[in-house]
Structure 1
Amino acid sequence: MADAPREGKLARCPNFIQLIDMASESVGGKILFATDDFFAPAENLIKSDSPRFKEHEYTEFGKWMDGWETRRKRMPGHDWCVIKLGIQGVIRGFDVDISHFTGDYAPRISIQAAHLEGDEGAQMPQRGERTGTAATPQELAAVAELKSNDWDYLVPMTELEPGKPASGHNYFLVNSHQRWTHIRLNIFPDGGIARLRVYGIGQRDWTATDPKEPLDLVAIAFGGACVGFSNAHFGHPNKMIGPLRPPLFQLSASESHTFDSLTLELQDVITHARLTISPDGGVGRLRLRGFPSSICLLRPREQPIMRFSVKTGFRSNL
């Protein structure tokens, strides 16, 4: 069994929640396995929206809950699930959200992680509709190949605090610089979790990229991150470099604007970019398309190789 780390639980809302949720279904996160999905399936853990509560809605298995909920354990052991991250990279923190699970949330959790190469973990059976079911012998045999019980601990066994019924966030700081691809969430011994957010910064293998195709070098999924700003009253700048499209507002205010680089200096390797808006207002997305440094230095310098794309996506405040 891997050693437990020194990372700890945070009492206040941390800065890492401004990063991307690497496990979200919206970026390709996927539930590979769960020991039990009797009351509600584990797929709910990685929904991109906030958990909801429907007071008078029931299923044939009990109260409808927007999360993952297992039945009470009547044998030794505990429930757990395995998640394949949609964006692989460095994890900065977790949010284990037990909103609306006031009396049946999981009392304790731990979280493990692994970096699996190639197609490891790709042979798991398709899950399909899971409510009212438990893991089959075939699924148990397949998940055993991952040896997830020996994965590294990013969060040791810790008690969860319920908080308010509609806001049951439990934050955990992670101090790891490794690149992770899979997560194992353990609940002790059973119960419900509404959402699991895995916040971090993506890492990409740039050596496998096409040298003829410019890439979005600032994308948070590839390792980009905002390191400073003058004002973030209505939204953090990290959202500009996220993978999702911004919501549509005014017609003209939702146009994309593309600019080629104007100076030869931008054909050298750059590490930082500064976006200035005058005097204020909003920008939906920022894309900086170019080439990684190992490719950039080998390309001819006749034409600009950096292209900026800005999508406003918000009403101008001029």
Structure 2
Amino acid sequence: DGWETRRRRGASADHPWPTDDDHDWALVRLGAPGVIRGIVVDTAHFRGNYPQAVSVEGTSVPGSPSPAELLGDDVKWTTLVPRTPVGGHAANGFAVSVEQRFTHLRVNQHPDGGIARLRVHGEVVPDPAWLTALGTFDVVALENGGRAEDASDRFYSPASNTIQPGRSRKMDDGWETRRRRDRGNDWISYRLTAQALIRALEIDTAYLKGNSAGWASVSVRDGEGGAWTQILPRTRLQPDTDHRFVLPAPAVATHARVDIYPDGGISRLRLFGSLTETGAAELTARHQELGG
């Protein structure tokens, strides 16, 4: 259920072992460009056929380059994980400290073997020119640089599921909390792509039929120390339904929070708006700083 390569052989029976330069590799396009903080090379179930060592390189190439273009002499690759021995049937984790925006990886097995899963953790850094050209977009979406910062409950699923691309395809593809036995409520807080002007929002409870949240409210704030302002009052939610709301007035924000009452789940939160001049300038500066 992973990627396993054929066994490399040397030139002859007298020299059956591959040379140090012989190795297998794979090119990977990241789901979204960004700064990489950690990489996991998981060799689960590869017990006698895992690679002796792995290395990982990264590059940033605009557009949609072909494999041949990525392997061209003009493409600069940066080492993120140097050649390092790994264990079999194990999640081999590596911290990455390169402060740069990447779009593609080259994963190397030395000399051959198998990798079950590759996990790349980091922060999405979107192209500000693209978002500005779009005008209105989902300013909390993971693919646009939004992120879930904190949540009251992660018992069944991560809060970041609520800002994944597309609609939820099954119950555990959203966010569901354990059952509350007190008088509190559950919530998620988010950081937006950058300072934005929000005009509309969606709360989707797709596939949550007997365990969707009963009610929800949405609040925003501008800046780390700003006060929370409610833009959607506590509103009744229906199971397995996409709820859409147009705000009576646009709201300027850098952060958002959804509260559900008393518990349950939502599958997606969408906040539609556009970057302010300040937000666009900050995003452009970050993009340039990271080599975008």
Q: Compute the TM-score of the two structures, normalised by the length of structure 2.
A: 0.63
CA distance in 2, matches of 1:276, 1:260: 18
Structure 1 residue 223, shift from structure 2 partner: 1.0
- For the pair 1:155 / 2:141, whether they are aligned, the reply is no
Query: Gaps spanning 5+ residues in structure 1: where?
Result: 1-50, 52-65, 125-141, 298-318
TM-score by length of 1: 0.59
Pairwise CA RMSD: 2.6
Query: Which one-letter code corresponds to 1:106 in the other structure?
Result: P
- Residue in structure 2 matching 1:197, options 103, 114, 119: 119
Query: 1:117-132 residue pairs with structure 2 within 5 A?
Result: 117-118=62-63, 121-122=65-66, 124=68
Residue 182 to residue 279, structure 1, CA distance change in 2 (3 Å): same
CA deviation profile, 1:178-200 (whole Å, cap 9, x unmatched): 21011011111111111212222
Secondary structure of 2:93's partner? Answer: strand
1:258 is aligned to 2:184: no
Q: 1:289 aligns to what? A: 272
Q: Which of residues 130, 135, 156 in structure 2 aligns to 1:208?
A: 130
2:265 match: secondary structure: coil
The 2-side partners of 1:245 and 1:188 are apart by: 39
**1:222 shift after superposition:** 1.3
What's the counterpart of residue 32 of structure 1? none
4+ aligned runs moved over 3 Å, structure 1: 209-213
Name the CA distance, whole Å, in 2 between partners of 1:95 and 1:146: 28
Structure-1 separation of matches of 2:73 and 2:27: 10
CA distance in 1, matches of 2:159, 2:243: 18
Instruction: Report the Cα distance in structure 2 between the residues aligned to 1:73 and 1:249, rounded to whole angstroms.
Output: 53
Amino acid at match of 1:117: P
Q: CA deviation at 1:241?
A: 0.6
Distance in structure 2 (CA, Å) of the matches to 1:212 and 1:189: 45
The corresponding residue for 2:5 is 69
Structure 2 match to 1:86:
31
What letter is aligned with 1:90? V
CA distance in 2, matches of 1:234, 1:173: 27
Question: Counterparts in 2 of 1:47-66, with a 5 A limit?
Answer: 51=1, 66=2
Q: Is the contact between residue 208 and residue 266 of structure 2 (CA under 8 Å) also seen in structure 1?
A: no
* Aligned twin of 1:179: 101
Greater RCO structure (CA 8 Å; 6+ sep): 1
Cross-structure match for 2:153: 231
Gaps of 5+ in 2: 11-17, 171-206, 211-237, 281-292
Cα deviation digits, residues 144-176 of structure 1 (max 9, x gap): 41566x51111111111224xxxx321222233
Q: Is the 8 A contact 1:79 1:189 kept in 2?
A: yes
Alpha-carbon distance in 2 for matches of 1:278, 1:169? 37
Alpha carbons of structure 1 residues 244 and 201: separation in structure 2 relative to 1, 3 Å? farther
- Flag the structure with higher strand content: 2
Q: Retained in 2: the 8 A contact 1:114–1:151?
A: yes
2:54 to 101, 109, 114: 109
Shift in Å, 1:280:
1.1
The separation in 2 between residues aligned to 1:294 and 1:212, in whole angstroms, is 15
Paired residues in the alignment total 207
Quote the sequence identity (%). Answer: 34
Distance 2:70 2:58 in 1: 14
Cα shift readout 1:179-229 (whole Å, capped 9, x = no counterpart): 101101111111111121222232222223465742000111111111122
Summarize the Cα distance change of 1:184–1:245 in structure 2 as closer, same or farther, 3 Å threshold: same
